[in-house]
């Protein structure tokens, strides 16, 4: 039974992130998180972070899908160029705040 519940919850999360209305709401909420925590690296490209608004750098990442980007941002990620520390190095951020900030960066980098 728990597997069915887990699958249903995962489907809901994917659907919520793929909905354009949900995406817009998340992006709007993510600006303040971006300004306070993410801009340090994503404004300058520190540690290989893709710069906000850099369409060429973000395109291959965006193709992976928002759920993958959010998971990498929450758990951390070591890429070919640079790395992303878990929660951008701010362990106080919630998973929702991370998701919102990723949505904001993606919306500004398409």
In CATH, which of 3.10.580.10, 1.10.150.120, 1.10.3720.10, 1.10.760.10 is domain 2-107?
Answer: 1.10.760.10
Kindly list the domain boundaries of the chain, sorted by start residue.
2-107
pLDDT of residue 81: 85
Q: Provide the token pair at 11.
A: 């489907």
Residue at token pair 């929450």: 74
Residues whose CB falls within 8 Å of the CB of residue 107, separated by 6 or more in sequence, listed in order: 23, 24, 27
Q: Note whether 93 and 37 are within 8 A (CB).
A: yes
pLDDT digit string, tens, across residues 45-88: 999 999 999 999 999 999 999 999 999 999 999 998 889 999 99
Name the 3-class secondary structure at 55.
helix
Q: For residues 58 and 27, what is the distance between their CA atoms, to the nearest angstrom?
A: 15
Task: Kindly report the pTM of this predicted structure.
Answer: 0.77
């Amino acid at each position: 039974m728990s597997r069915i519940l887990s699958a249903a919850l995962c489907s809901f999360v994917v659907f919520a992130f793929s909905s354009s209305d949900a995406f817009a709401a998340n992006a709007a909420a993510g600006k303040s998180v971006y300004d306070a925590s993410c801009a340090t690296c994503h404004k300058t490209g520190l540690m290989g972070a893709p710069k906000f608004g850099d369409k060429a750098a973000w395109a291959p990442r965006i193709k992976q899908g928002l759920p993958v980007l959010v998971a990498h941002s929450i758990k951390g990620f070591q890429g070919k160029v640079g790395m992303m520390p878990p929660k951008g190095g701010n362990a106080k951020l919630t998973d929702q705040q991370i998701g919102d900030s990723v949505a904001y960066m993606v919306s500004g980098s398409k």
